């Protein structure tokens, strides 16, 4: 995993606070670096089509595509109030980009803290014997996670999960990017 430990870009918190959480967008789309501006504008409600969140998503798609040298991107923006992926797991993708814009960030485990044979059983205690080893990304951090489908990485995908749901019911806003080609 590689993490860009950046602060949340200016204005995104304010933009999210201006709209009620139930109006936050959730969608998936296939796009390219050349088409992301138009595709994102078509997918987002009009009140989200300008401003720092829109600009940051376009920027991250461009950066991600440049790192991988790919043109086909799967973009997912999730607004969620539940646990999401509450069990530690690995993704069966190549290289995934995650950025939390609002709420708690993704939790992940150092490889030495994982009991890999326990993955996929729905038992976090079996995967991790020492909860003090859980690491967490913060809002604004940009993480690149190698999945099981990355060349030469089978059996070594980064183990992670969504953070537990906020007890107050506050929503998270999460960007996820995957590549369709490499």
pLDDT on residue 153: 94
Residue 161 phi/psi, 5-degree rounding, is: -160, 165
Band the pLDDT of 182: cuts 50, 70, 90: very low
**What is the distance between the alpha carbons of residues 182 and 109, in angstroms, rounded to a whole number?**
26
Tokens of 46: 């009009």
Mean pLDDT of 144-154: 95
Mean pLDDT of 151-170: 91
Q: Are 68 and 124 in contact (CB under 8 A)?
A: no
The three-state secondary structure class of 82 is: coil
Q: Are 76 and 33 in contact (CB under 8 A)?
A: no
Which residue range is the domain that position 80 belongs to?
2-179
Number of folded domains in the chain? 1
Q: Are 71 and 181 in contact (CB under 8 A)?
A: yes
pLDDT on residue 19: 73
Interval 85-121: pLDDT, tens: 899 999 999 999 999 999 999 999 999 999 999 999 9
Interval 13-45: pLDDT, tens: 988 888 777 678 889 999 999 999 999 999 988
Tokens of 15: 């933009």
Q: Are 167 and 18 in contact (CB under 8 A)?
A: no
Q: Which residue blocks in the chain are alpha helix, DSSP H?
A: 12-18, 36-43, 52-68, 124-127
Determine how β-strand 172-179 pairs with β-strand 73-80: antiparallel
Q: Global pTM?
A: 0.94
Share of the chain above pLDDT 70, in %: 97
The three-state secondary structure class of 115 is: coil
pLDDT on residue 58: 97
**What is the distance between the alpha carbons of residues 125 and 115, in angstroms, rounded to a whole number?**
10
- CATH number of residue 81's parent domain: 2.60.120
């Amino acid at each position: 995993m590689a993490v860009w430990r950046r602060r949340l870009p200016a204005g995104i918190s304010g933009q999210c606070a201006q709209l009620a959480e139930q109006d936050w967008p959730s969608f998936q789309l296939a796009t390219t670096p050349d088409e992301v501006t138009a595709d994102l504008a078509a997918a987002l409600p009009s009140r989200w089509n300008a401003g720092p969140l829109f600009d940051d998503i376009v920027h991250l798609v461009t950066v991600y595509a440049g790192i991988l040298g790919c043109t086909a991107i799967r973009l997912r923006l999730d607004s969620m109030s539940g646990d999401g992926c509450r069990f530690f797991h690995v993704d069966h993708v190549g290289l995934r980009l995650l950025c939390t814009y609002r709420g708690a960030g993704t939790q992940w485990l150092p490889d030495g803290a994982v009991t890999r044979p326990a993955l996929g059983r729905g038992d976090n205690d079996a995967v991790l014997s020492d909860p003090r080893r859980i690491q967490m990304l913060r809002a604004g951090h940009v993480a690149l996670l190698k999945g099981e489908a990355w060349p030469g990485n089978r059996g070594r995908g980064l183990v992670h999960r969504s953070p537990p749901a906020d007890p107050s019911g506050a929503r998270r806003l999460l960007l996820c990017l995957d590549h369709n080609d490499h």
